[in-house]
Amino acid sequence: MDLARLWPALLLPLAAALDFRYHHQEGMEAFLKSVARNYSSITHLHSVGKSVRGRNLWVLVVGQFPKEHRVGIPEFKYVANMHGDETVGRELLLHLIDYLVSRYGKDVEVTQLVNSTRIHIMPSMNPDGFEAVRKPDCYYSNGRENHNQYDLNRNFPDAFEYNNATRQPETRAVMAWLRAEPFVLSANLHGGALVASYPFDNGAPATGTSHSRSLTPDDDVFQHLAHTYASRNPNMTKPDQCKNKMNFPNGVTNGYSWYPLQGGMQDYNYVWAQCFEITLELSCCKYPREEKLPYFWNDNKASLIEYIKQVHLGIKGQVFDQNKNPLPNVIVEVQDRKHICPFRTNKFGEYYLLLLPGSYEINVTVPGHEPHLTKVVIPEKSQHFSALKKNFVLPFQGQLESLLGSNPPCPMIPLYKMSSSHSAATKPSLFLFLLILLHIFFK
């Protein structure tokens, strides 16, 4: 590694190590603000919204360019404490922040990871619930829901059935955050079991529910992601760790196979935000004693770091017209794994496709025009901390601005219910046009 990129980080101040205890809102805010102040060159602290009771939903961004997106640098996020009584993830993310900033410039792996990735960390999505817990319990406490008594992990739009639950401030804030940042990979941290769970959480016959599962078009990647995390946690892969007769082979499960869930955040991320997300259940006891926290950190530290690295799987690049102008809203997908809501380029003309090593045919389509097909090979050993880079230049010269600018996103309605089969998405422009008309008509 170029040591010239390391030496400025050596000037970063040394901060006192974060202690292993539960940090309530005031203590968590003080820690986050201290990190943002002491490591201002690689961090940015901001709130994406407020809870019902007005508490900030803090996000700390760690990266070489923490304040804004840079082309070619993928966006990653961790979210914890959706259920206020599930507390381990909240503390693990605070310690992950401490680990990343304190080792930046000293540890080559951490430095490369921070320089090549924009890492967003939300320690608590439900601060009201956390503060509401008066008597911690391993199984259920009154802080699970938000202040309005809504389960936030049942509060998102659902791709399989109508979710009529009133959208909560915390949910709306996260949805707006997902629209603002082109996230590629994510995980949400929970408690009450030891398993890495991957989408879908809800399902339809088209996704395999007749076989007691619900699989995405990217099932191979999701299984890889779940195994990546579970295999580095020394307890997650062991059978029946929670003594409740729930055995998850190799510490992973398909969400629907475990139990169907409507309105979950990980399905929403994948369908409407183009962000691959899995759910990490990190402790048998939802609110364990403080003295157990160092053990949870030791068990999860390697997994947390290795999982972030997976944002560099596959292929990335930009789509341009012949004048080298980046083209937003262009559909970019693998030919044989089309999404019910097609993956599109962001406002910078960027795309990111998480793919395992292999040969693929990439379909680049401007709605209303013929697709451009290109074969690519993802090598077994990908570039260090970077996906394979492949740009596309389309045979257009600026006449697409009105079409691409007016192309609406997928409506937040049960897309699978509106489609008789997933194959309807093979003609995404026509399919989405019909869905949007139905949405407007029945709204």
Q: Give which of 19, 103, 81, 86 is closest to 294, Cα–Cα.
A: 19
Which one of 91, 145, 281, 333 is the catalytic residue?
Answer: 281
SS3 365: strand
State the Cα–Cα distance between residues 283 and 272, nearest whole angstrom.
29
Q: Which contiguous run of DSSP H or E holds residue 364?
A: strand 358-365
Q: Give which of 192, 196, 145, 194 is closest to 288, Cα–Cα.
A: 192
Verify whether residue 281 is a known catalytic residue. Answer: yes
Radius of gyration in angstroms for the set of CA atoms belonging to the chain, rounded to a whole number: 21
β-strand pairing of 183-190 with 75-80: parallel
Count Cβ atoms below 10 Å from residue 12 Cβ, excluding itself.
17
β-strand pairing of 193-198 with 252-254: parallel
Q: Environment class of residue 347 by beta-carbon count within 10 Å: exposed (0-12), middle (13-18) or buried (19+)?
A: exposed
Contact present, 366 and 330 (Cβ < 8 Å)? yes
Catalytic residues, by residue number, are: 281
